[in-house]
């Protein structure tokens, strides 16, 4: 088990990958930490300009 980088309430910058055209780049807030997967941690995030919460991998997130 690896240590996670972010906690609920943290603000992060999202850089979508080439297969994430539906994800708006920008600043998001961590809503919830999801269980660790074999590929790493996942987070439920919310952008103030987007009505949807999204699940993103830790590799897509940077500290804001």
Examine residue 5 and state whether it is found in any structural domain, yes or no: no
11-57: pLDDT as tens digits? 999 977 778 778 888 899 999 999 998 989 999 999 988 888 999 99
Task: Assess if residue 34 is contained within a domain.
Answer: yes
For residue 23, what is the enclosing H or E element? none
- Give domain status of residue 4, yes or no: no
Q: What is the phi-psi region of residue 49: left when phi exceeds 0, alpha when psi lies from -120 to 50, beta otherwise?
A: alpha
Distance between terminal CA atoms of the chain? 25
Q: Record the tokens describing residue 55, joined without a space.
A: 């699940």
**What's the total number of domains in the chain?**
1
Nearest one of 31, 27, 32, 16 to 49, comparing CA atoms? 27
Q: Is residue 20 part of a domain?
A: yes
Q: Is residue 6 part of a domain?
A: no
- Number of other residues whose CB lies within 10 A of the CB of residue 22: 9
Q: What is the pTM of this model?
A: 0.85
* Residue 1 included in any domain: no
Domain that includes residue 27, residue range: 11-63
């Amino acid at each position: 088990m690896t240590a996670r980088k972010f906690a609920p309430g943290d603000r992060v910058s999202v850089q979508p990958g080439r297969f994430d055209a539906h994800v708006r780049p920008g600043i998001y807030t961590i809503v919830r930490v999801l269980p660790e997967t074999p590929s790493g941690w996942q987070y439920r995030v919310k952008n103030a300009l987007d009505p949807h919460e999204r699940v993103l991998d830790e590799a897509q997130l940077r500290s804001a």
